[in-house]
Amino acid sequence: MAQTVCVIPSAADLTRLSAIVADRGRPLKHIQRARIVLLSAERLSVLDVAQQAGVSRPAVWRWQQRYAEEGVEGLLRDKTRPPGKPPHSTDTVAEVLALTCSEPPGEVTHWTGRALAQAVGISLRSVQRIWDAHRLQPHRVRSFKRSNDPAFAEKVEDIVGLYMDPPRHAVVLSLDEKSQIQALERTRPSRPVTPGRPETQTHDYIRHGTTTLFAALDVLEGTVIGRCMQRHRHDEFLRFLNTIEAAVPAGKLIHVILDNYGTHKHPKVRAWLARHPRWIFHFTPTSASWMNAVEGFFSALTRRRLKRGSFSGIVDLQAAINRYIAEHNGRPKPFVWTKPAAAILDAVNGNAAPSV
């Protein structure tokens, strides 16, 4: 390719090209192309234009030709180019999707990208692009569990009603226990995050015992009443109920949402409820812990305070938990449930995982 045009811009084009070069907000490629035309208008050689513009000689020839054919507007847009390889046919894409959603041959559990690419006769990257476009992830698996509670619908409507339309002059508490919280002490201090390396911890640790956290989340206020105890029996559960009884103002009904753990239905617990008529228990359906709002608090506690923590003993662990509860109560947020009961029942009947 050689120079085949003589660049002679008009006065209007020179003004516009100079403005493009002076505009710091312009893309660099637009500025380079405008400089090529301006330098070419000064009757410089192609080599000089290329050196001063910082481009190659073929680039100078290309944009001289583009300006001669399309003017300044031709410098500001790129021509579309066909892909280096033609896209795969619809039949090939359909074959990839069908195989991905079918059982692989032999005793392997799922398709891999290389195995599917070999079976179809395309590249691994092509398989990955088709998977990305159709949101297929055969390497991942998720578990689910259906509740077999015969009163599932009634319990869902009851609990969702408490979340979305709580009764007046009442306190709605989501209560549960997080048992077997281990006080683990790392044998060496953790190394902090550095550029290119995450935080590191030693693999080995010293066990200092366990504790159980009893917690009740006030759905309306967002605050948590928590107490750490050594064991997880009905005796400790009754002590925690007495703690809540003392904390909730008199004259208010207390609606408690909790799971079906045997401790919650112990005869002594039922006798305690009979002596405290303002308490009403609402049990979640079996295998439906996702309906208990306090589980979200336990998840945040685990991620933010326990998972990476190093504790010298049970007292240190319990102190860390109590500090986290105090920090949480310092900036509480009401719990908001957005999924109505009818939508949950429809999702469960349609084999879809309900979300809140």
Domain identity same for 231 and 303: yes
Domain identity same for 163 and 296: yes
Q: Is 294 part of a structural domain of the chain? A: yes
Q: Is 180 part of a structural domain of the chain? A: yes
Domain identity same for 224 and 165: yes
**pLDDT on residue 316:** 93
Under 8 Å CB-to-CB from 356, ≥6 apart: which residues?
290, 337, 338, 339
Nearest to 289 by CA among 256, 259, 263: 259
Domain identity same for 249 and 225: yes
pLDDT one-digit tens code per residue, 304-324 = 999 988 899 999 999 999 999
Domain identity same for 71 and 95: no
Q: What single DSSP character describes residue 304? A: I
**Where do we find the tokens 């206020």?**
221
Under 8 Å CB-to-CB from 61, ≥6 apart: which residues?
1, 2, 3, 4, 46
Q: Is 247 part of a structural domain of the chain? A: yes
Domain residues for 291?
Answer: 152-192+203-349
CATH code for the domain in which residue 53 is found: 1.10.10
Residues 219, 272: contact at Cβ < 8 Å?
no
B/e letters for 288-306, b = 16+ CB within 10 Å, e = fewer, are beebbbbbebbeebeeebb
Q: What 3-state DSSP class applies to 214?
A: strand
Domain identity same for 170 and 217: yes
Domain identity same for 228 and 117: no
Edge-to-edge strands, sheet with 224-229: 224-229, 205-218, 170-186, 253-258, 279-283
Helix, strand, coil shares of the chain as percentages rounded to 5? 45, 15, 40
Give the mean pLDDT of 188-207: 88
Burial class (CB in 10 A: 0-12, 13-18, 19+), 25: exposed
* Separation of alpha carbons 183 and 227, rounded Å: 16
pLDDT one-digit tens code per residue, 208-228 = 999 999 999 999 999 999 999
Secondary structure string (H, E, C) spanning 102-144: CCCCCCCCCCCHHHHHHHHCCCHHHHHHHHHHCCCCCCCCCCC
Query: Mean pLDDT score of the chain, rounded to an integer?
Result: 89
Domain identity same for 55 and 95: no
Lowest-confidence pick of 39-43, 76-80, 297-301:
76-80
Nearest to 39 by CA among 20, 3, 19, 14: 14
Domain identity same for 30 and 120: no
Q: Is 146 part of a structural domain of the chain? A: no
CATH code for the domain in which residue 297 is found: 3.30.420.10
Domain identity same for 262 and 341: yes
Q: Is 85 part of a structural domain of the chain? A: no
* Separation of alpha carbons 241 and 211, rounded Å: 18
Give the mean pLDDT of 250-267: 91
Lowest-confidence pick of 16-20, 31-35, 136-140, 199-203:
199-203
Q: Is 254 part of a structural domain of the chain? A: yes
Domain identity same for 169 and 98: no
pLDDT at 185 over 70: yes
pLDDT at 1 over 80: no
pLDDT band of residue 356 (cuts 50, 70, 90) is very low
Q: Is 243 part of a structural domain of the chain? A: yes
Q: Is 84 part of a structural domain of the chain? A: no
pLDDT one-digit tens code per residue, 232-248 = 899 999 999 999 999 99
Domain count, the chain: 3
pLDDT at 353 over 60: no
Domain identity same for 117 and 244: no
Residues 247, 226: contact at Cβ < 8 Å?
no
pLDDT at 111 over 70: yes
